[in-house]
A and B are shown apart, each in its own frame.
Chain A
Amino acid sequence: MKKLAILAISALALTGCSAQDITLVRLAAHDSFVISDELVAEFESETGYELEIIRLGDTGSLTNQLVLTTNAPVADAFFGIDNTFAGVATDNNIVDGEMQAIDYSDVCFNYDLDWFAESSIAPPTSWRELGQEQYKSLVVVTNPNFSSPGLAFLATTHAGFDTSAEVFAYWRSLRDNDLKVAGSWEDAYFVDFTRYGGDRPIVLSYASSPSAEVKEDGTPGSAALRTECFRQIEYAGVLNNADNKPGAKAIVDFLLGDSFQASVPENMYVYPINEAIEVPEAWAKFAQPADSLLGEGLDINANRDQWLTDWSDVFDN
């Protein structure tokens, strides 16, 4: 057996495992993170670090992968853990110091103005109406198990009703109204939404999304239901046990800096956390934040598993 052990070890040695080069900074992010090549170049020339971005799936799997690899982290810093998952990060002590809020966005339903103009149906005024007969087969949401806006909307419903029986009744009414559940925001928006060739004129998205739907003549193509929305705040931070903590701090500072902050509306359709940053003109007109919010006091971390189990029970059977 000794022979075998030696062989196995030498096979390992052959493949080479060299120490991390400390000029490298690894930023773990979710799949929707966008940073332009110019901004990467700006960061690298300003700090002398080389930036590697490691995408770890959606917000949930990003957070979970960082927790599961906390003793030997795959990155030095992270971007994209949001307030629905922040509790997981703090409970598991994966962040060195404070998490920094980078951007925010309001999760709410959008509807296709052209579609409703052509049909005889009046557009909804609140998410509470979506179980009504006239909206049958018109709505697409995202699966809260895999998608953070989906989870945000699930939280919204729990904040919006007094008892879980009412929450259940609401979700069942959506299910019976032929609600479509898409795997991700991208799928719901770019595949199922009528503005992109789908057959659902009402889509779970963000208050800021209509700014991307302004037509050539300057009129809006979609509108958001701005009441009782859920505010999602995305954070960045330095990971405990990071190989390159100074580098990690440098990239977090860069994400808070003016250049990156100014880029987030157009690149990620979210509002910069720095209010001094001017948002694009289309945003001022068509992408106002929500009029009212829900669920800010929810303990999402304590309830997530139960909510998701209940939700799956409604939809799987």
Chain B
Amino acid sequence: MTTNLELFATTALIALFSSVVATILGYPIGNWLAGTGRRTRQLVSSFLLVPFLLPPFLIGITLLPLQPNAFNSITGILWIIGAHVLMNAGFMARVVSANQVPADQLEAASLDGASGLRKRFAIELPQQLAGMLSAGLLVALYSATSYGLVLTLGAGKVDTLETEIATAALRDLDLNFALTLALLQTALTLCFFYLARSIGAEPAPLFGEQETASSGSKLGGVLSAVLLAAIVIVFAGVFVRAITYGPGLFENFANLAGRGSRELLNISVAEAALNSLRNLIVAALIALPVAWLAAGRKRTSYLVLLPIGISPVVFGLVFLILSGYLPSALSGTWLLVPIVQSLFLIPLSYQVLRPARQSVSMEIRDAAQLDGAFGWRMFSEVEGPLVRKPLSVAAAFVALGSLGEFGAASFLAYGSQATLPLVMFRLISRPGPENLGMAMAAASLFIVVALAVVWLISLEARTQRQER
């Protein structure tokens, strides 16, 4: 019997180890990236960020075929940490490369006779530490809320707070125990989130540009190559399996219109994808306008940011309990899923939109108002075009966030309302080459979408730079 304390410790340790390893790996990679030419930097860092943008359950699915058939809980935990590192090391590298020490400082130090190593550890590291610590805590937060990944790679042998919340609520019907665990989970993640915010001011811009004089070490270059190779191998593995598993490429994709071998699913993968698309649209319709309005306010809205520190599993549980008290037009319908998703998509888009909206100068707004632009006209003709790019980035984040959301949906979407991640999880948790082939086909589509989003965002970053 696992105790609450053990669950808490397992969850916290997985989160911390994932974060520490991702940081150790990301630091030299980030410094190396910062020293490379602009084109290389942009290409490599964009690619390293793709796993970070993919939903955790999908990272789990991409690694699943590489797992041995039988393993114990410790091995399971190592796999989970490894998957978190693969997801987040690129993000850490990007943060490090964006937090470089100004060139003149380093030159001054060189003149004073400081060696390369000394410059790195006496001058650069202390200045980068705050940003890294903040990003590291965010990685810990993501790693403590990766329910879908733990389910996929833990194979039922790894218990975390999130998996036990689900077991207590959905299997044992013990809502009191589930709520107790939910409180522990929330205490843990809110703690990570607020420490991260109090240490580093704002999260570093993910796709920004930074000029630096730092020259990366050989080690950084090698590690970058290793990480890149790992990502390419894992992704290529998914594509190859989509082609070779089960009945083969065309059949695997054609099967997505069906319900798996032995009619395993309630609805076809395509129908589930449509459900997810519908949820995405509703979630975006709620999250983007709310984030937009909140981002326009003078003071930072901590209330809006709060949900980012709360696990989707906890949200799912709370809304499952609440659903008995909500108006019946809402409870028991598919609407609950996108509404809950929008709760944590709002802070995500807020973080993108706030700096953008704050940067639109007061003068422009005042001038527009003098010319009679208010409300919708102000948005569509003045501010909207000015922040079109951050707006499309926020929309892309919302899209990926909603499409890949697993925890809340697993509590609230069932039967014919199942979402794409839920049916994909069902496909991989049952044997049969046909099911696995379908899951890999769907996963490769997911990866292609994420690559397209990254490409879109980096394209935006580039045109932004050119316009400056």
Contact = CB atoms under 8 A, between A and B. Distances in A.
Bound pair: A and B? Answer: yes
Interface of A: 3-4, 7-8, 11-12, 14-15, 17-19, 28, 31, 54-57, 60-61, 64-65, 67-74, 88, 92, 145, 182-184, 186-187, 190-192, 305, 309, 313, 316-317
A31 B414 CA distance: 12
B172 interface: yes
B333 A7 contact: no
23 contacts: A4-B290, A4-B293, A11-B282, A11-B289, A12-B330, A15-B285, A17-B335, A31-B264, A31-B266, A54-B414, A55-B266, A60-B171, A65-B170, A68-B169, A71-B324, A72-B326, A74-B332, A183-B431, A186-B430, A187-B431, A187-B432, A190-B262, A313-B1
A60 B172 CA distance: 10
B415 A56 contact: yes
A57 B290 contact: no
B325 interface: yes
A7 B296 CA distance: 15
Contacts of B72: 317
Interface residues of B, number: 40
B73 interface: yes
B416 interface: yes
B429 interface: yes
Given A17-B330, A145-B171, A316 B430 contact: no
B36 interface: no
Interface in B159-196: 169-173
B1 A309 contact: yes
Interface of B: 1, 72-73, 156-157, 169-173, 262, 264, 266, 282, 285-286, 289-290, 293-294, 320, 323-326, 328-333, 335, 339, 414-416, 429-432
Contacts of B293: 3-4, 7
A72 B332 contact: yes
B329 A19 contact: yes
Given A74-B414, A191-B431, A92 B326 contact: no
A187 B430 contact: yes
A286 to B, nearest CB: 22
A13 to B, nearest CB: 10
Contacts of B320: 68-69
Nearest to A57: B414
B427 to A, nearest CB: 12
Given A57-B414, A74-B415, A92-B173, A186 B262 contact: yes
